[in-house]
Structure 1
């Protein structure tokens, strides 16, 4: 999809220009406002006839595309219901509009407000949502397809309002929504790539590219030798069975005050997870290319933060590795020593995400962070608990947990807080090491979080288990979550700090 440009203006300034698609929200009463009546007149009765025909009822999110002879080649009607809309209704409307508009083949579009009565407090949110949805639904995977699906034609979208203050607010919100959408799509693209394309080195190249694109950013890549010198033997135990070298990727963005404590994002970057010696079943093993969804979301969030030029300091740490079986692979029962000096009995080599994350969490201490959030496709148990609708949220600080939950609600990239009680910790007891890397069949997502919590005692920390939310199996593909949540969280922190 070509770069999609967003704008906002007064309808009087835009009315003289023809557009390939005029978008008009119409309520369940089917009454038209002044802009609607002008479009009806310009369409030589085609719009009025369509409304009288009964095909369109004006229900929230309902769409009808009309081809007419006027200045607007197409008129897209979008149902606005009875006018008493909440954010759930706006979300439904925005998604339906994006799908219908992108399917229309129009290259540019102008949206009149019509029957859409937006509360001032929801205006910025709706504008941002419209832009995010248009960018999101415009994504097409193409890299390894000889005949990919054609990209949408839309290159320009304008929102029309007669209120100058709303126009100014709309411009900013539309741009921010587009930047968030682009970050989500970067995460989707990286996660969708096959594992023979998206290797730890590929993730490192993407991080370097982001750093080169912004004067306030820098990137450092630690190889296996450097990790060994730091004592990261837990991370290195995961990569022991593969010929593909692991990378610890550190991407810094210094957009805030000099010396201000950064917010740290830690991403699990297992670019393919066979399970190691504890080999996974063959069915759906191809989906284990998505096991770097946490790393993908961190890079997508960093892109959005940089493009928004947020006045905040952010550090991204990505533990990137492959988990493969071979004669050199870590074996069940092996005992390894983490960077923190804690010894771990590897009871299951398929519980590898926590083994790479624990060393990355220890490494995060050196930044003296304001907060640390790790993101990982960590446990199938989280999928059982929450399905695909919510990411599992664990935290050692209530304020941080509330901030992330609020950001998830605002962005509709929701999370649900799970318990991190001391009662679960004893499930990690081991006779041969300080702890085991699994806690048995009960509460698998909780004990995984308990494992990580032991390496995050020196700062405010949260863990997002995105095993259910990072990708879909039908149709197969990455969702880009939780880039929306993380971007909103950092926007909120930038405003508050």
Structure 2
């Protein structure tokens, strides 16, 4: 999808009354998208459309057909006096209450309605609307990501595509003249983030017999080639030489060989400490010997969404050309039952030298992550963020709205929370306090890999914290946000928006 920016005269969003309004009225486009406020007279572009149509919109307002309620949409076709083949009127709610949340809701409603029109191009005026606490660049990124997300389709494994792909190919976004430069950069950023999300979703949606550890490694190599990154892919012998006993204990039951993936983006001087992103890459999780129930097990192909998100984030960072150094680390494996598989009660030795009693082989994510977190020490990182579909307990705690955020660093946690709010990809901070370590005590090893049912997501984070004492660290549990079940089943691309916004903010400091 192609996005371009059109300047309007300095204005107050929907109250535009200058040349931009006239241009929009006469523009030849498949669909003109216009905002309307609730409980106030028509203004700006909507008012000019009303004048050009001899009072059509005013009559609709009087009849109650156009009320401006947040998220409402009205589509008009081939109206005399308008240049557009269609005009989509979008309810923005009350002007005084227009904030980031309501603007995003209106944007999503507009996108849904626009896609159903089968329009091939659109002229989008909502980005010229002032939003409390946000700038024009934010509005542009929001629109671009929403449009790209709505037009995403996963059809790679279908012999016949059941539904036609969205027709939308070109969108012109209008902004105030003073905001054109920032808006163009924001459109590029939005496109890069959307591309990263699409990669993350593609990897998650692929079946486990296609998206294997080797496939993830080849994807990393392809990214390295396309964006001139450096990559290193370690196989079983190299992993064993590093004494990653916890990681290897998970891979033992599978015939698919594990891969340890390191992908480096250098956008700043080599002396600058990198941000390291670690993604859980369990490409299929049966639970191992602690076998999961059969119902819904197909969704365990999504247990590598942490890996997919860090690869997607690195792709976005490279496309944007951010001036900082970022490293993605992905321990990739299957978790399968077999005669060679690790058994409950087995004790393994991690790369850090700590011994782990494996009380449940379905708590495998923390076993592969702990070795990856130890490996990250060698880069002397400014911060390390791991991303994992780690615990069902996080879904019980937070549902499918917020990702779980754990960190002992208030500064790092606050930065991630702020990035999530700005990106509309929110997280909620949960404790990672030493008192919970009591639940992880083992009679036979340094630590057990589970701490019982109470505070399951917290004890999982506390387990990981044992391997992160040499740097600033945060953990994102995305078990409830990385994919959807039911009729809308599929990967969501989260938390790519949160991570990329965090890195954009980091570059700006």
TM-score band (shorter)?
A: over 0.9
2:374 to 333, 339, 362: 362
Determine the C-alpha separation between the residues in 2 that align with 1:102 and 1:307.
26
Q: Does 1:483 align with 2:496?
A: yes
Range with greater deviation from structure 2 (146-155 or 59-68): 146-155
**Which residue does 1:465 correspond to in 2?**
477
Over residues 424-462 of structure 1, what are the superposed CA-to-partner deviations in whole Å (9 max), with x where a residue is unaligned?
112111122111111112111111111111111110011
SS in 2 for 1:92: helix
Determine the C-alpha separation between the residues in 2 that align with 1:47 and 1:159.
23
Preserved CA contact (<8 Å) 1:36 1:114:
no
Preserved CA contact (<8 Å) 2:70 2:106:
yes
**Which residue does 1:19 correspond to in 2?**
29
Q: Does 1:68 align with 2:81?
A: no
Preserved CA contact (<8 Å) 2:103 2:131:
no
**Which residue does 1:193 correspond to in 2?**
206
Range with greater deviation from structure 2 (22-31 or 395-404): 22-31
Q: Does 1:147 align with 2:160?
A: yes
Give the TM-score normalised by structure 1.
0.95
**Which residue does 2:215 correspond to in 1?**
202
SS in 1 for 2:289: coil
**Which residue does 1:378 correspond to in 2?**
390
Preserved CA contact (<8 Å) 1:80 1:116:
no
**Which residue does 1:346 correspond to in 2?**
358
Q: Does 1:6 align with 2:4?
A: yes
Over residues 307-336 of structure 1, what are the superposed CA-to-partner deviations in whole Å (9 max), with x where a residue is unaligned?
111101000000110000011111111111
Range with greater deviation from structure 2 (171-180 or 429-438): 171-180
Determine the C-alpha separation between the residues in 2 that align with 1:350 and 1:111.
48
2:147 to 120, 128, 134: 134
Determine the C-alpha separation between the residues in 1 that align with 2:217 and 2:386.
18
Determine the C-alpha separation between the residues in 2 that align with 1:7 and 1:297.
29
Over residues 406-441 of structure 1, what are the superposed CA-to-partner deviations in whole Å (9 max), with x where a residue is unaligned?
111111211111111111112111122111111112
**Which residue does 1:273 correspond to in 2?**
285
**Which residue does 1:123 correspond to in 2?**
136
Q: Does 1:309 align with 2:316?
A: no
* TM-superposed deviation, 1:393: 1.0
**Which residue does 1:159 correspond to in 2?**
173
**Which residue does 1:28 correspond to in 2?**
38
Determine the C-alpha separation between the residues in 1 that align with 2:308 and 2:244.
22
Determine the C-alpha separation between the residues in 1 that align with 2:341 and 2:44.
71
**Which residue does 2:92 correspond to in 1?**
80
SS in 1 for 2:208: coil
Change (3 A) 1:63 1:466: same
2:66 to 33, 56, 79: 56
Change (3 A) 1:385 1:118: closer
* TM-superposed deviation, 1:17: 4.0
Change (3 A) 1:159 1:115: closer
Change (3 A) 1:380 1:462: same
Preserved CA contact (<8 Å) 1:32 1:114:
no
**Which residue does 2:188 correspond to in 1?**
175
* TM-superposed deviation, 1:13: 6.4
Change (3 A) 1:431 1:187: same
* TM-superposed deviation, 1:18: 0.7
Give the TM-score normalised by structure 2.
0.92
Preserved CA contact (<8 Å) 1:391 1:468:
yes
Over residues 172-215 of structure 1, what are the superposed CA-to-partner deviations in whole Å (9 max), with x where a residue is unaligned?
22221222122122211111111111111111111111111213
1:212 to 206, 225, 229: 225
Where structure 2 has 5 or more consecutive residues not aligned to the other structure, the ranges are 9-19
Determine the C-alpha separation between the residues in 2 that align with 1:114 and 1:211.
34
Q: Does 1:433 align with 2:465?
A: no
* TM-superposed deviation, 1:145: 1.8
**Which residue does 1:411 correspond to in 2?**
423
Preserved CA contact (<8 Å) 2:437 2:459:
yes
**Which residue does 1:39 correspond to in 2?**
49
Range with greater deviation from structure 2 (247-256 or 185-194): 185-194
Range with greater deviation from structure 2 (108-117 or 146-155): 108-117
Preserved CA contact (<8 Å) 2:3 2:173:
no
Determine the C-alpha separation between the residues in 2 that align with 1:256 and 1:419.
33
Determine the C-alpha separation between the residues in 2 that align with 1:253 and 1:286.
33
SS in 2 for 1:167: helix
SS in 1 for 2:227: coil
Determine the C-alpha separation between the residues in 1 that align with 2:455 and 2:24.
58
SS in 2 for 1:101: helix
SS in 1 for 2:217: helix
Mapping for residues 225-236 of structure 1, pairs under 5 Å:
225-236=237-248
Preserved CA contact (<8 Å) 1:136 1:182:
no
Q: Does 1:318 align with 2:316?
A: no
